[in-house]
Amino acid sequence: MKIAPSILSADFAALAADVARVEAGGADLLHVDVMDGRFVPNITIGPVVVEAIRKRTRLPLDVHLMIVEPERYVGAFVSAGADIVTVHAEACPHLQRVLAQIREAGARAGVALNPSTPPAAIEYVLDDLDLVLVMSVNPGFGGQAFIPSAHAKVRRVREMLGGRDVEVSVDGGVKVEHARPLAEDGASVLVAGSAIFGAADPADAIRRMRAAAG
């Protein structure tokens, strides 16, 4: 199981120190939440901050775009150093085209599904993606409660993917107690913000989450 700390719950005024802490603590990826105040109510960060983070860490950057018209910004985020760019299916009428655009720009392509979006939304782009991000909260804020229907969605997505080498990542309200059931469902990445940065010892929180996944 890979663990991806979400910097949304980090101290934005001491970002480099928080990133260094989770990198030293064994994080596999760094999850970066980009919000535009339109697709979701909140506003967070843009490519300039991703570029600044890129200079401070060797961790792969897993950039989660919660923005409308993400195709307008794919190039900027890849140039800024994103290794994975994930767009929301709900924000992309031409999803296949955006996924191809991400790969052509040189990054791995992800699709996020809001809690109410059926897995069928990705049925015809399974060969165009490298990661599926199953949202276990309605995106926009850290610290929300895990929505249990994510379990069934992870199982269905893993079944749809068959033998494809695609990550299934779960994002929102993920705590240590969810790690084992999500591993059994077929998840390969756990995104966690408050469970890691809200812990007294983030490195220990990463270790415990990975160990719990088995």
Catalytic residue annotation: 33, 171
Residue type (1 letter), 93 = P
What is the nearest approach in angstroms of ligand DX5 to the Cβ of residue 123? 23
Question: How far is it, in rounded angstroms, from Cα 16 to Cα 156?
Answer: 37
Residue nearest to Zn ion (CB): 64
* Binds ligand DX5 by CB under 6 A, chosen from 10, 28, 30, 33: 33
For ligand DX5, the binding residue among 3, 9, 18, 111 (CB under 6 A) is 9
- Binder to ligand DX5 among 25, 46, 75, 140 (CB under 6 A)? 140
Find the binding residues for ligand DX5 in span 45-104 (CB under 6 A).
64
- The CB-of-77 to ligand DX5 minimum distance in angstroms stands at 15
Residues in the chain: 214
- Cα distance between residue 182 and residue 190, in whole Å: 8
Size of residue set near ligand DX5 by CB under 6 A: 22
Give the Cα separation of 131 and 190 in Å (integer).
12
Terminal-residue alpha carbon distance, the chain = 8
Q: Which stretch binds ligand DX5 (CB under 6 A): 74-82, 122-130, 153-161, 187-195?
A: 187-195
Query: How does DSSP assign 170-202, residue by residue?
Result: EESS--HHHHHHHHHHT--EEEESHHHHTSSSH
Question: What is the binding site for Zn ion (CB under 5 A)?
Answer: 33, 64, 171
